[in-house]
Amino acid sequence: METLHTIRKWLDKIVGTICILLFALMVVVGSYQIITRFIFNNPSTISEELLTYSFAWMAMFATAYVFGKRDHMRMTFVVDKLAPAQRKVLEIVLEILVIAFAVIVLIYGGFNIMGLTMTQKTASLGVMMGQVYAVVPISGILIAIYGILNVVDLCKGYERKEEEEK
């Protein structure tokens, strides 16, 4: 069990760091875009495209991070009315559904869309669109791993919130 917690801890650090770096990149590129547009009156198309793709990447990594923390937005008004044993079963089923979605839509579908767009290049950056879409299966893999870790934690009765408060 300790090994799984170590894996989660390292995943959290890596994904969190990626999100921070992407956000910092967006701040720098956004500032550059504002300066070139309003001070030098010479807008940069590269910065616009880079901001768009950086935002998409950050959103996908942040989604995986939030699923890993089990802090995503949920409507718990039905779950709260269940007995603890029923709640545990429902939460495990929901995690399994999230894993299925990640595997089928994000990983399988993400690899398919990557393959279809590997010959297309972005307008300003000249990067293959398949490389831009690589974040979809990567985040799907992360969400699936986090989902498996969450199922194990739920089965063992481990509460993340209590541990994080210590």
Kind and range of the H or E run holding 22: helix 2-34
Query: Residue type for 51, please?
Result: L
Q: What is the pLDDT of residues 71-84, one digit of tens each?
A: 777 777 777 888 98
Domain limits at 51?
A: 2-165
Number of domains present in the structure of the chain: 1
pTM of the predicted structure, to 2 decimals:
0.89
Distances (CA, A) of 15 to 54, 93, 105, 146: 14, 25, 20, 11
Cα torsion 4, 72, 131, 53: sign? negative
Query: Residue type for 142, please?
Result: L
Q: What is the pLDDT of residues 10-43, one digit of tens each?
A: 999 999 999 999 999 999 999 999 999 999 998 8
